[in-house]
Amino acid sequence: MDAFLSRRRGVIKAAAAASSVVGVALMSLAAPRDLLAQTGGACIPVSERTTEFGCFVHAEQHLQALPTGPVYWHIDRFPNRSSAQAARQTNGTVVEILGQVWLFTIAGKSGASSGGEHIADVGPLALPQARSLMATYMEGDFNPGMQSTIHRHPGTEAWFVLSGAQCLETPHGEQIGRPGAPPVVVPPGEPMLLTGIGKERGHWLVLILMDATMPRGSPADDWTPKHTCERIGSSD
């Protein structure tokens, strides 16, 4: 993983399945139908993970006061958990994903933590109108052809692609996420459909910056996608 992360050390700037555990429910366009059952049809806590593919919740953090200016998701990597914890600041969370230790921080433009390897600053991110905010951090592991349900979140969702490729369709068109490209970001309440594309298994880090009093996600039955990402995936 060092090889593809080393290409992304520079600062990168860019810029939701009912129930409290719903984030992205998985279906398959080209792979066997049992892929849908692998995570029970929804994002699940990583402690309950029994399969390679799916959407897995690693951490939820209720945020303290944020700056009045633009807000970013700062991503740093550390050699071990103790060094990441030592560098953690306000609104920072340490997680282990793909055998790596990550420090995620929600802060202003210059709020990245010191130490470790700085990977990216994703943002600026639109904040939902809410009295309290929560950052939910997840891992996505998709094969090409896997899809989410049509859904929305009560907050901004952002992806940082480590390998493979993804296509996100919203009413405003498509965004393609892959290593070296700007992160995919969708604002609060926007209906969406996420598809794994390309030839390679996809891994991505995911943030939902959301209203802490709301369920993480809900079906978006009021929007019908054009399924343009499926066509993009078949030709990618």
C-alpha span between 221 and 228 (Å, rounded)? 18
Each as own residue / partner, the long-range contacts of residues 30-36 (CB below 8 Å, 24 or more positions apart, any chain) are 30/144, 30/145, 31/143, 31/145, 31/146, 35/143, 35/146
CATH, range 2-235: 2.60.120.10
Q: How confident is the model at residue 50 (pLDDT cuts 50, 70, 90)?
A: confident
| Predicted pLDDT of residue 231 | 87
Single pTM value for the model: 0.83
Average pLDDT over residues 206-214: 96
Q: Are 147 and 212 in contact (CB under 8 A)?
A: no
Q: Is the pLDDT of residue 6 over 70?
A: no
Number of H helices, E strands in the chain: 3, 17
| Predicted pLDDT of residue 236 | 63
Within 8 A by CB and 6+ apart from 13, the residues are 72, 121, 122, 123, 124, 182
Q: Is the pLDDT of residue 59 over 70?
A: yes
Beta bridge pairs of residue 168 = 175, 194
Average pLDDT over residues 191-217: 94
Average pLDDT over residues 127-152: 93
| Predicted pLDDT of residue 212 | 96
User: The tokens of 83 are what?
Assistant: 């060094």
Average pLDDT over residues 146-151: 90
Average pLDDT over residues 18-23: 36
Q: How confident is the model at residue 111 (pLDDT cuts 50, 70, 90)?
A: confident
Omega before 187 within 30 of 0, i.e. cis: no
Which residue type does 180 have?
A: G
Q: What integer best gives the mean pLDDT of the chain? A: 84
Q: Is the pLDDT of residue 77 over 50?
A: yes
Q: Which of 32-46, 99-113, 154-168, 174-188 has the lowest mean pLDDT?
A: 32-46
| Predicted pLDDT of residue 234 | 67
Phi, psi angles (nearest 5°) of residue 31: -95, 170
| Predicted pLDDT of residue 207 | 97
